[in-house]
């Protein structure tokens, strides 16, 4: 058995590196390094959460994410979930920057965890999840009810 300690980084394919960098900057990521031998930039938060932006995507997908926005379901990663310090503060920053929340805020269980979902400029899904916060003033908060 392999002893995996943690997720090291996530790779996200994008079409326009500058557009992607501008978006992820709002989420707290800063350019850390740029590969000299590949179409990759490394971005990190102040707490060393790392994403590799692979900027070689073709852009002929009619504005759709093939894993999320089409009728057929293909295997693959559907979203990245990032922990945030405050859902309320995150919602404010998203609104200030014109980033549309595509789902949420929603609580998936009784743990107090609340998520919101956004799309990056290439329609990749990002879940922003907060925990243990007074959410009584969060507008539109819903609770997910399982089908079972």
SS3 86: coil
Decide if pLDDT at 33 tops 70: yes
Architecture of domain 79-148: Roll (3.10)
What predicted TM-score, i.e. pTM, was given to this entire model?
0.86
pLDDT one-digit tens code per residue, 53-86: 999 887 766 777 766 777 777 777 889 999 999 9
- Tokens representing 147 are 């089908």
| Residue 107: per-residue pLDDT | 85
**Average pLDDT of the chain?**
88
Sheet arrangement for strand 125-130: 79-83, 125-130, 114-119, 101-107, 142-143
Architecture of domain 1-60: 2-Layer Sandwich (3.30)
| Residue 146: per-residue pLDDT | 66
| Residue 61: per-residue pLDDT | 67
Domain edges within the chain:
1-60, 79-148
What is the rounded average pLDDT of the residues 4-19?
Answer: 93
């Amino acid at each position: 058995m392999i002893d995996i300690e943690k997720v090291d980084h996530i790779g996200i394919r994008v079409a326009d590196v500058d557009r992607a960098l501008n978006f992820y900057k709002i989420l707290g990521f800063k350019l850390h390094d740029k590969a000299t031998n590949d179409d990759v930039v490394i971005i990190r938060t102040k707490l060393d959460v790392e994403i590799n932006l692979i900027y070689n995507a073709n852009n002929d997908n009619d504005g759709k994410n093939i894993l999320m926005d089409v009728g057929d379901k293909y295997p693959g990663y559907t979203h990245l979930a990032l922990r945030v310090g405050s859902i309320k503060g995150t919602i404010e920053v998203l609104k200030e920057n014109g980033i549309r929340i595509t789902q949420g805020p929603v609580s998936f269980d009784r743990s107090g965890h609340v998520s919101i979902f956004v799309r990056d400029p290439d329609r990749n899904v990002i879940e922003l999840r907060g925990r243990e916060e007074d959410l009584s003033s969060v507008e539109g908060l819903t609770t997910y009810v399982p089908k079972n």
